Amino acid sequence: MFDQNLVSKTKEELTAAKSVAILLPPDPSTDLVAAGLGLYLSLSDAGKQVQIGSGSQIRVENADLFGVDKIKNSIGNQNLVISFDFKEENLKKVDYDVDENGKFMLLIQPQPGCSAPDTSTINYSYSGASADLVFILGVNSLEELGKIYADEKSFLDGAKIVSLNLTAKGSNMTTMAFHNNAARSNAEMVGYLLKAWDINPTADAASNLLTTISTSTNQFNSPKVTADTFEVIAFLMRHGGNLGRSPFAGSSRFGAFPPSGLRPFMGPDMTPPTFDDDELPPPTPFPGGPGRVNRVPADWNKRPKVMRSGQSNFQS
């Protein structure tokens, strides 16, 4: 699927990296979310310090993907930012103090006659992103990352980047670009690369990727399904991946096999048919019941013929 020299180079960079950031575009598709989380969960399990971000909220239809709560709308973690509504001309001084217990206190002193900041408007966030390696999925330029690029432009402009995208076009962001329009999904590309990099996905990561590959290939019936696709599927299944949305289950959250007590072939309001006794036909007499004469062929009652030693004829 990809040039092996590029695969090897990226594997070396990933092995050396202690911290990794994974970035998705605003309003990412289910495929991009599953691919990003597949990387996030697998690299976290491999001992990396990993963060994953998107410049917007994640769609509600992606809420059942494992790890979706880990996606933040910012990736900075070096600086604590405290923001609130306050006019600069009303500010006299900003100071701080540390008490005997080590508690840090920030002092915002207003001008005489001005009110102090309203605590109900205070918000907390982080800035100052830092990572040894950055994976960027589904964009052709850093600007397409939206808010995250605006917040962390200085960091991203100098970051070591790996780009993954379903396109044949090259990348102006990095030389480590895994761009391919032959694959059906980003999830398939991530599964392929995890296998090539000798990184074992967690069962949750494998399930995210496997389910999305199934959906994007119309349950593996797409003409874009190749031998590489099935190798990725086998790899993910060996590491605990399962189809959370079975192709045989429709929209059921129970998959192909509902729990005991539910009838899989009946609707929720259907009950088995019942009959009154008056509607039932009379029972058919059992063939061996009273009044029946058992007729056995006569030759069945004869003694069996026996051949004795020294005799040439059978004796009855």
**What confidence tens digit (pLDDT) does each residue in 59-84 have?**
988 988 999 999 998 887 767 888 88
Measure the CA–CA gap between 264 and 266, rounded to whole angstroms.
6
What number of residues does the chain have? 316
- Section 215-230 average pLDDT: 89
Q: Tell me what the pLDDT averaged over the chain comes to.
A: 82
Chain segment 115-140, per-residue pLDDT in tens: 998 989 998 877 778 899 999 999 99
- Section 287-307 average pLDDT: 59
* Position 109, amino acid: Q
Vertex 229 angle, CA 223 and 230, to 5°: 105
Long-range pairs, 299-304, Cβ under 8 A, ≥24 = none
The pLDDT > 90 percentage for the chain reads 48
pLDDT(288) > 90:
no
* pLDDT score, position 76: 75
* pLDDT score, position 169: 83
- Section 236-257 average pLDDT: 58
- pLDDT-derived band at 282 (thresholds 50, 70, 90) equals low
Report residue 233: phi and psi, to 5°. Answer: -60, -45
* pLDDT score, position 290: 55
Measure the CA–CA gap between 191 and 210, rounded to whole angstroms.
8
- Section 282-299 average pLDDT: 58
Q: Which of the residue ranges 47-56, 147-156, 178-187, 264-273 would you say has the lowest mean pLDDT? A: 264-273
Greater confidence, 24 or 254? 24
Q: How far is CA 161 from CA 22, 31, 83, 145, in A?
A: 10, 20, 31, 13
CA quadruple 105, 110, 116, 121: dihedral sign: negative
Could you tell me whether strands 91-98 and 176-179 are parallel, antiparallel, or unpaired per DSSP bridges?
A: unpaired
Burial of 284 (0-12, 13-18, 19+ CB in 10 A): exposed
pLDDT(250) > 60:
no
- Section 75-97 average pLDDT: 85
* Position 14, amino acid: L
Whole-number CA gyration radius for the chain: 35
Measure the CA–CA gap between 52 and 68, rounded to whole angstroms.
10
pLDDT(263) > 60:
no
- Section 152-181 average pLDDT: 91
Q: Is 94 helix (H, G, I), strand (E, B) or coil?
A: strand
pLDDT(264) > 50:
no
Domains and CATH numbers, the chain: 4-79+126-238 (3.90.1640.10), 89-116 (no CATH)
pLDDT(297) > 90:
no
